[in-house]
Structure 1
Amino acid sequence: MDTLNLRTENYFRDLLLIYFARQPLILGTTAAIFLAAVVIAFTSAEVFSAEASILLRSNEFQRSPDTVQETELRAFRVDEQDLRSEREILLSPRVLNGAIVKLSQAGFPYADALTVSNLLSSLTVTVIPDTKVLDLELRRPTPEQATEILDAVIEEYMIERTQILNPERTSDFFAIQAERFRSQLGSTKEQLVEMAAANKTADPRAEIQSNIAFKRILQERLNSLEIEAVQYREELRHLDEALGDDQIRLFSFIGRNDTVSSLVQRLVDLSIERGELARNYEDESRVVASVDKQLLETAAQVRREAIDYRDSLATKLETAEKQQELIREQIATVDSRNVDLQIHDIETDSLNRELELIGQSFSTFFRRNQESQIPNSVDGKVSLFYVSVLSPAHTSGKAVFPNRPLILGLGLFAGFLTGFTLGFIREFIDHTFKVPRDVEQYLGVPLLFSTPLLADSSACKADRNHSFTG
């Protein structure tokens, strides 16, 4: 069995070899980083910390005004969400800005340089696990400044929290909202009354239906008048044609006039009599001439009656046309009125819906206002949670930064670790033979002897560089 395969690696020796081979690099890196740590530890500005703690206690039994008439007791307990909410109140810009204003009014010289973002970066609020305690820490250049600022923040937090959860403030809000909706109710009702008075109707929809029925009657009457007008025009046209003829016309188509009818009958009788006389007498005879004279007189009388009848028809046509115009105006008036009523109905519906919503809102805020006053009247001022300052702002007086022992220790450790890492990397990328056993390990041949390179006078290389013969 090959003895090379039985050999085990000595890693500790390899590490020592790396250390001694790269000792200048390792020690130089360690010294540089340690020196930087010394500079940081002894030249950095000191930072002091002030700490405080707040306890959040629940009001186990709180009257809940679910209705105005009845109140019931229910329990409130502090949970993690409540603690996080209190933390957000503490870190809110309003609280921090209020603390800055308070410090400025108190005349602290550093207050003018404070900003909300500056305080946010230096203030830490932590919820202690499995407790109802908030731990506050503020870091500032001096212990006095840290304590004063943290006290101001806690004081402003207590004030702001009281304002947020103050039942009287809530009651005032509900009262203001209820009064606003009461005013809107009155204004909307006045608008409805004014609209009803302007349109002179209490029920626009009923009037619209009535107007539609009336319009239907008017339309039927208009159609009838239009038919009559057409008949009158046709009869007038026929009469005008008959009256324009110089011959004797019977005007027998005028059947609705008794006078004309009797004259036409008389004219017919005379015509028959004239025909019978013409068979027995000459046209120049006195008997025939007398009948002819009667015929002419009767025909003239019929024509006069026809003219009178024609004038009466023209009058009727004119009257029918005027009635048509009047009815058309009435229909247009009805249509216009219906449009106005429809607009009024839409606006009324909109106002009624708005009135209903405003009424509901008024009832809600009025009831909430009464409910919000119940805790004050029954139990006095009540809060769901009580906040107590468990530990006021205090400081140990020792700087939390720089921590010289810690920084120096970390600097020394980091320097040595960094230096050794750099040395290991240098050795890892250097593929030359460094010790005699590298020949056997990498070439797989036995080593007979090794001689140092005496030509190199460097002490370091004299220990490491050899001439190997295998």
Structure 2
Amino acid sequence: MSESETTTGTQARETSTAMYLRTREALRDARGAAGEDWKREIVEIFFSRLWLIFLSTGVIFAASAGVAYYWPPTYAAHGSVLVRGKPSQIDPNSLEPERERVSGVSKEDLQTELAILTSPDVVRLAAGPGGPASRPARPEEIDRIRENLEGEVVPSSNVISIHLESRDAEWAEETLDKILRQYLVFRATAFHPHAQEEFLSDRAAKYRKDLEEVENRLVEIAGTTSEIFVDRELTNNLDLLLSLKKKLGELLQARVEKEKTIVPLREAADAQAVQYFAFLASEAVDRISQQLLALRVARSELLRLYPEGHEKVRAMDSSIESMYGDLRAEVQKILAMRQAELDSIEMQVEQVEKDIAALETRNATLQRNSTEIQRLTREAEILRFNYETFAKRGEEARIKEDITLANFSDDVNILSWAKSSAKVVFPLKLPTMAIGLLSGLLAGLSLCLLFEFLDQTIKRPADVSRAVGLPVICSIRKA
């Protein structure tokens, strides 16, 4: 690049920089002039309409002075409530004894109490029959009272301050006093509703009726079973039952053994062949059997000498038959005796079985009655506990309601009842007139700006330039 080209570029940059600096300086001067013009215009606007400012200020100040001196005075009645704690909280559905759950007072609790104190229901109760009015309060009356009723929580305390404004100081004091009284009653019904007392009383009556029925049933069972001796009788019966079962086993064994001796004896007695019944342990049977055997031996010897139909043989047969009849008669006697013994055993077995069945029935009855008595006793204890619990809760609810109706509560306390002050709360002369003066001044300034905005006439050189779009060469002030 040549030296001439370098010099030309440097000059161009210097020229551009100088133009930028001159332009920035011109803009700064223009801004300063515009700022000064704006301030000057505002001052001119206000000074050109000083009459309007004075007029509006004077009118509004005069009106405020009239209000301060001639407006009917408004008085206020003041009262305060001390919140000592949260309402006692006991679950009515719980049957277990429990302490009342009481905790510290929070900001939410204070706001809740304040909301109850200024609620429409409390105001309606205070303004209704028995209140300052002898007739039910109309909605507009309730709204009017609530508009003039204000409450606030005193900072760093558990105190709620409340006041009611009215042109009648006596009416305000009486109404606020009624509001405080109705507040105690209403909050009690809100935290401890009357329906809760009725519910507790009804449940207590139901449990008492059920308890009486169970106790009557216990009396009926106790009439047939002595609860004191049930266990002892059951123990004795079990011992007796054990001995009877042992005896029954012995009798059954004896019956089996006796049947074992009777069955073969009966079969032998019923047999057609000659039997000597040698298996019988009887002296008479053995003696007759030996005699019978001797006769049969003698007959055999006679048959060697005489034929079958011989007279001596027939006489021997007659003797044998007679002897065999005696043997069978003796056997029948033994069989009858053993059968009698078996029948006796059968009777004993039957009696023992009856005794066992009777004892088992008795034990079952005792066990059933004992179980029923234990069940009814447990049920009676539960019902008695439930009855006592609900009766106690119902009595506590009634006591709390009575205490509330007496305008006393263990949760809140009326720190100061309604008291009206002779001091007027509205209008206050000095603050009212000061506010009127300030309001008049602000209104006058605002009217000046408004009139300037609405006035489209040419009053300054800038208006000419803005209207025709041409620069102003000079201006001649009007003489």
Return the structure number with greater strand share: 1
Q: TM-score, normalised by structure 1?
A: 0.49
Bigger Rg, structure 1 or 2: 2
